[in-house]
Structure 1
Amino acid sequence: MTQTTQKETVIVEGSYAPTMVEFKQGVPAELTFLRLNNQGCLDKVHSDALMFNLDLPINAPQTVTIPTDQAGVFDFSCGMDMVHGKVVID
């Protein structure tokens, strides 16, 4: 039986919306960031815990695979660490 990949999109427009996304543990997951304007320092997003670092061009969705082998709360933030979001895996 094939597992369906969980997919969520975060809109980047002065902040992250939603600021928290949830995935089920053990099911493949993809998180897409879509930046809609050049407000603030949101041209990059990174997470040390989830091992990604993305440039976010305007109107160009960027997708990262989220490891779901461990449950927990994992932070992501803009390049200057001023705007924050969370990935919850449970």
Structure 2
Amino acid sequence: MDASSIIVTIAGLALAGFVVWYFFLSSRPVASAVSSSGGVQEVDITVKGGYSPDVIEVERGKPVRLNFYRDEENSCSEELLLPDFSIRRDLPAFKTTLIELLPQQPGRFDFTCGMGMLRGTLLVK
């Protein structure tokens, strides 16, 4: 191997390491739900190439309202799945869809698009 092959190999490994860190190991900001006067925890989530915010923290035993605004027409984001709560909803483009649930158990509950490519997490404390 000559010097240029070694440099390209090292650069490739460094780039692969960065990709793994960015997508799987980096910490994501957590959005806490805001409680309304009626005691409902509410979070606005924008769907555009992913969920923003994609990590949402709520308290158990209190009703939760997730407001999903789909700001795109990409077919991947047209369906929302919350399997742990038996929720499957269509998300119409450029409209807000309300998802209401009552988390009784603490834990980590994932939500995805219908294809499983877009991912988010509901953290119940």
Query: Root-mean-square deviation (CA), in Å?
Result: 1.4
Aligned to 1:6: 41
Q: In structure 2, what is the Cα distance between the partners aligned to 1:51 and 1:34?
A: 20
Q: 1:52 aligns with which of 81, 87, 90?
A: 87
Please list every run of 5 or more consecutive structure 2 residues that lacks an aligned counterpart in the other structure: 1-36
Give the number of the structure whose residues are more often strand, by fraction: 1
Q: What TM-score does the superposition give when structure 2 sets the normalisation length?
A: 0.66
Give the distance between the partners of 2:38 and 2:106, measured in 1 at CA: 18
Indicate if the aligned counterparts of 1:44 and 1:54 stay in contact, CA closer than 8 A.
Answer: yes
Question: Where does 1:14-53 land on structure 2 (aligned, <5 Å)?
Answer: 14-39=49-74, 41-53=76-88
Query: What is the SS of the residue equivalent to 2:93?
Result: coil
Runs of 4+ in 1 over 2 A off after TM superposition: none
Aligned length: 89
| Cα displacement string for residues 10-41 of structure 1 (whole angstroms, at most 9, x for unaligned residues) | 10001110111111111111111110111350
Q: Which runs of 5 or more residues in structure 1 are unaligned?
A: none
Q: How far, CA to CA, are the matches of 1:57 and 1:48 in structure 2?
A: 20
Question: Share of identical aligned residues, percent?
Answer: 28
Instruction: Give the number of the structure with larger relative contact order, counting CA–CA contacts within 8 Å between residues 6 or more apart.
Output: 1
Deviations, residues 24-62 of structure 1 (Å, cap 9, x unaligned): 111111111110111350011111102211101112111
Cα shift at 1:67 = 2.0
Q: TM-score, normalised by structure 1?
A: 0.90
Q: Which has the larger radius of gyration?
A: 2
Counting helix residues as a fraction of each chain, which structure ranks higher? Answer: 2
